[in-house]
Amino acid sequence: MASLTDTDVIRAVIDGVPAELPRLSVPLADGRRGWYQRNRLDCMRAAVATVLSLPYDDVPELLDPSSVDRWAVDAGYVVQRHYGGPPAASYIGVGPMGDEGLRHVVAVVDGVLFDPGSGWRFGPDRVPPDPVGELEHAITLEPEHERYGVLRAPQVPGTPTAVTARDDFTGTTAGNALNGRTAPLGGTWATSGAATDFVFADAVSDANGTYDEHLTRSASGTRYAILGSTDYTDVEVRVRHGGNHEAGVIGRWTDASNHLAGRVQTGGTLVIAVVLAGSETVLATKQLTANTRRLVLRAYATGNVILTAYPEAGVALGTIAATHAALKTGGVLEDGKPGLVDIGDGLFADRFDQFEVLVPTPLDATLYPNQAAELRTDGIYREGSAGGTYAPAPHVGALPRLPASGLEDRPVELYVSTSRGDFDQIPDTGLDDFTVQVFYRPCVLFVPDGTAGS
């Protein structure tokens, strides 16, 4: 989440002076009231009252996460915690653990931060509290009657079925150029720029580890190394990488003006980008917190692209996904050649080895063609691709529960949509026909009075 400074904080002002207790609230721009905390440990209570537009006294003391969860259940709210960035325009922001083991909590209302502690002054000199720093995570509280369910299969392909090209950059002489080399599998390398831009080197160690015989590149500017003459549609490209510059893999290459790339930038940001007619469009990014050692880019005929970064060993550091019409069947980049890309400054070398091109396994589907899925109060169940069998499927969000119409005969509306993309990362790329049926079982919380008949 973005760093928040003192200038982002809305302060109550009385005669030009920031408010102090007993001034306990201030009107905000959207008509809500921003509640100030009434004691040192009451910031969560004040933030909840601000975001939900509740009277301060209607919210109890909320001193730990479990107390928030218990109160939310009793008050009819669903608690969700978000660690990947601001989840909505209004939310409760939780700061990192302080020296005393406490966390400060703020309210964000329509994108503007309100600090419940900003009305306080401490000590004889009336010193204001420190500005709010980086938020660690966010909390949203949704009314229980607005629950939703999402049937979603994680975009995690299985083990690739075959290796179609590879080069470990071994069996060479240090200083020889990559350009014109025939790889052990996959064809001949062709590089842009000077022939000496990509050359072979002996073993070397850096902060990421030790490279055996490998490929190095230290010239300035953007350079490409493309392998073979085969154009791939569904393709997985892998490489082991280390260095100080932005570098990565090419998934589909037509020429320098038209290609798909997955890169890791200086500073550790993952990037998926397409270049069309010489103009680059960044489709997705993600900041990583550790050094990337391996990159894996997967592209599919559906237009979906997934880029994953790994350390030398262990679980993935991060994954991003995107889609683009040019990458779908019939698009400008419906297929292309694999390769490497490096954006250097001529001062330091980047290193590559263990380059592979594979046939990826298909992505999972949440709803198979001509089959069914059930989104129910007790879970989500998907029919198999061949039909006839159902199995539980992963999901996010709370499972649906229809509210009672009550004596007022309130209408209940259901909204159902399908999407070809992961809601968290990929937009919908097309419309598909589907049919929805709604089944419900009435449940009551009271016993009928029994006066009508026996």
| Residue 400 counted as domain residue | no
Structure tokens that stand for 383 in this block: 């029919």
Could you tell me if 56 and 201 lie in one domain?
no
Contact 132, 115 (CB under 8 A): yes
Structure-block tokens of residue 15: 């005669």
132/231 same-domain check: no
Task: Please check whether residue 260 lies inside any domain of the structure.
Answer: yes
Q: In degrees, to the nearest 5, what angle opens at C-alpha 154 toward C-alphas 267 and 390?
A: 175
Contact 241, 264 (CB under 8 A): yes
User: Which of 48-62, 225-239, 312-326, 428-442 is least confident?
Assistant: 428-442
- Phi, psi angles (nearest 5°) of residue 47: -65, -40
Q: 111 and 17 in one domain? A: yes
Closest CA to 94 of 130, 137, 140, 48: 137
52 φ, ψ (degrees, to nearest 5) = -90, 0
Residue 253 falls within a domain, yes or no? yes
Q: Cα-flanking dihedrals φ and ψ of residue 405, to 5°?
A: -70, -25
The per-residue pLDDT for range 258-284, each reduced to its tens digit, is 999 999 988 788 999 999 999 999 998
- 366 within domain boundaries: no
Domain-ending residue, one of 145, 178, 200? 145
Tokens of 72: 């939310």
Q: What are the C-alpha distances in Å from 240 to residues 200, 269, 292, 314, 435?
A: 15, 16, 9, 14, 46
Contact criterion met (CB below 8 Å) for 394 and 383: no
Please name which of 338, 271, 262, 331 lies closest in space to residue 301, comparing C-alpha atoms: 331
pLDDT of residue 396: 54
CATH of the domain at 271: 2.60.120.200
pLDDT at 238: 94
Beta bridge partners of 167: 355
In angstroms, the CA 138 to CA 109 distance is: 13
Same-domain status, 80 and 177: no
Q: Which two tokens stand for residue 183?
A: 């790889």
Q: Are residues 211 and 348 in the same domain?
A: yes
Q: In this predicted model, what pLDDT tens digit does every residue of 160-217 receive, in sequence order?
A: 778 999 999 888 888 889 999 999 999 999 998 888 888 888 876 665 556 555 777 7
User: Would residue 384 count as lying in a domain?
Assistant: no
Residue 350: per-residue pLDDT: 81
Q: Which residues on adjacent β-strands are paired with residue 199?
A: 177, 216
Residue corresponding to tokens 């009793």: 74
In a domain, 351, yes or no: yes
Model pTM score? 0.57
- Domain coverage including residue 273: 162-359
Q: Mean pLDDT highest for which of 1-5, 94-98, 138-142, 383-387? A: 138-142
Residue 3, amino acid:
S
| Same-domain pairing of 207 and 268 | yes
Total domains in the fold of the chain: 2
Q: Residue 428 pLDDT > 90, yes or no?
A: no
Averaged pLDDT score across all residues of the chain = 78
Asked which of 311, 336, 359 is the last residue of a domain, the reply is 359
Instruction: Say if residue 201 is in the same domain as residue 256.
Output: yes
Is residue 422's pLDDT more than 50? yes
State the pLDDT confidence band at 122, using cuts at 50, 70 and 90. very low
pLDDT in tens, 80-91: 888 766 677 789
Residues 127 and 192 in one domain: no
- Sequence-ordered list of residues with C-beta below 8 angstroms from that of 360, at least 6 positions apart, any chain: 157, 160, 161, 234, 235, 236, 298, 300
Average pLDDT estimate for 324-345:
92
Euclidean distance between CA atoms 369 and 37, whole angstroms: 54
Choice between 265 and 244, residue whose per-residue pLDDT is larger: 265
Contacts of 269 (CB under 8 A, 6+ apart): 285, 286, 287, 288
> Higher-confidence residue: 435 or 363?
435
Instruction: Report the C-alpha gap between 3 and 398 in whole angstroms.
Output: 30
Alpha carbon distances (Å) from 216 to 292, 386, 443: 17, 49, 68
Residues 187 and 280 in one domain: yes
Q: Are residue 199 and residue 63 in the same domain, yes or no?
A: no
CATH number reported for the structural domain that contains residue 50 in this entry: 3.90.70.10
Task: Write down the pLDDT at residue 256.
Answer: 94
- Does 402 reside within a domain? no
Q: For residue 88, what are the CA distances in angstroms to 92, 107, 142, 329?
A: 10, 12, 11, 34
Same domain flag for 42 and 182: no
Query: Do residue 181 and residue 232 come from a single domain?
Result: yes
Report if residue 417 sits inside a domain: no
Neighbour-count burial for 36-67, b at 16+ CB within 10 Å, e otherwise: bbbeeebbbbbbbbbbbebebeebeebeeeee
Q: State which of 145, 173, 205 marks the end of a domain.
A: 145
- Whether residue 421 has pLDDT greater than 80: no
pLDDT band at 452 (very low <50, low <70, confident <90, very high): very low
